[in-house]
Copies of this chain bind each other. A is one copy, B any other.
Amino acid sequence: MAKRTGGGKRNDRLNCPVHFALEIFGDRWTLLVIRDLMFMGKRHFHEFIESPERIASNVLAARLKKLERQGLISRHRDPDNRKQVIYELTEKGLDLLPTLLEVIRWSGKYDPDTAAPRNFLDRAATDRDGLMRDLTAAAKQRKPVVGGRS
């Protein structure tokens, strides 16, 4: 039954895909940052801080660092405003869109007070592929999909 082989670090070589994913975004905050990048057009530290869930700045810093290390986001200085840093989704991060979509669909179905837009949910049900294409395009141009506030 997959006994721990030799040297015995924990978590070595399980390779279950669910476990792999959870190691990257299995916490309360990471997917919210990705949501902000993907749907809200945010890309500055202070913008994530302002999201209504109120992530603590040290936790945000840790998450951004980890996401960059894992290759889901890139980090560079804004050439137009050298004191700002720009965070952006990489292809690998962008590729979480289908996952986010399904999460949103599920919550939209089971949260009676969901803020998920009705037309979004309807289209997810009837035209998943088209919706995904549009959202991918929007995310690449950082067009917020949802109004100014989250």
A52 to B14, CA, bound (A): 7
State how many residues of chain A have any CB contact under 8 Å with chain B.
Answer: 47
Question: Closest Cβ of chain B: how far from A31's Cβ, in Å?
Answer: 6
Residues of chain B within 8 A of A1, CB atoms compared: 50, 52, 149
Copies of this chain present in the complex amount to 2
> Which of the candidate stretches A61-69, A77-85, A108-116, A137-145 sits at the interface with the other chain?
A108-116
Distance of A14 from chain B, by nearest CB (Å): 5
Beyond A14-B115, A22-B28, 16 extra complex contacts between A and B, CB < 8 Å? A13-B113, A14-B52, A16-B35, A16-B53, A17-B106, A18-B32, A18-B104, A20-B111, A20-B114, A21-B103, A21-B106, A95-B110, A96-B106, A99-B102, A99-B103, A102-B102
Which residues of A line the B interface, CB within 8 A?
A: 1-2, 10-11, 13-22, 26-28, 31-32, 35, 50, 52-54, 92, 95-96, 98-111, 113-116, 149-150
